[in-house]
Structure 1
Amino acid sequence: MLRVYEPQDLMEGELLVGMLASEGIEAHLTGRHLVGAVGELPACGLLGLMVDNQQAERARHLIAAYNGAQPLAGDEPENFQGVLLC
């Protein structure tokens, strides 16, 4: 297994694990149990996203595409500009 990405926090790591799973890539988040020891401070390299060697390049490509994504123009309703609706 190779470490392909270092998430900024636990939420980003879990989100990326789910995104990769939806693309058929099994990923493991290492260090998730160590993050609680530092509280609200940044993880400082404790977290790591690990994938199988054969899927590492594809995983890196998908993560780079995810990180570079921009919102679609005109994708938000006119009545709620600047407000995220979930």
Structure 2
Amino acid sequence: MQRIYEPLDLLEGEMLLGMLASEGVAAHLAGQHLLGAIGELPALGLLGLLVDDRDAEHARRLIDAYNAAAPLPGDEPEQHPGTLLC
């Protein structure tokens, strides 16, 4: 298994798990149970997405595409261009 990405928070980690699963890539989110002890542990680097060695490159490409995504024209508010409406 390879650690391919460090999500910013649990929400992003869970969303990426679902996205990878929908693409046929089995992944594990390591460190999610450590977040309760955040007062005594370093705040960054606790979460990590792990995938099988054979899926690592494909998963990295999927996550790169996720990070490069931009809103469709007309889907963002005029006062905040470049912001996705969810």
TM range, smaller chain: 0.7 to 0.9
- Over aligned residues, Cα RMSD in angstroms? 2.0
| 8 Å Cα contact 1:8/1:43 also seen in 2 | no
Q: TM-score, normalised by structure 1?
A: 0.82
Show the counterpart of 1:2.
2
Counterparts in 2 of 1:1-86, with a 5 A limit? 1-38=1-38, 43-75=43-75, 84=85
Runs of 4+ aligned residues of structure 1 deviating over 3 Å after TM superposition are 80-84
Q: C-alpha separation between the residues in 1 aligned to 2:3 and 2:22?
A: 19
* SS in structure 2 of the partner of residue 33 of structure 1: helix
**Number of matched residues?**
80
| Ranges in structure 2 where 5+ consecutive residues have no aligned partner | none
Q: Per-residue displacement from partner, 1:36-69 (whole Å, max 9, x unpaired)?
A: 2116xx8410111000000000000000000110
| Ranges in structure 1 where 5+ consecutive residues have no aligned partner | none
Q: TM-score, normalised by structure 2?
A: 0.82
Percent identical among aligned pairs is 66
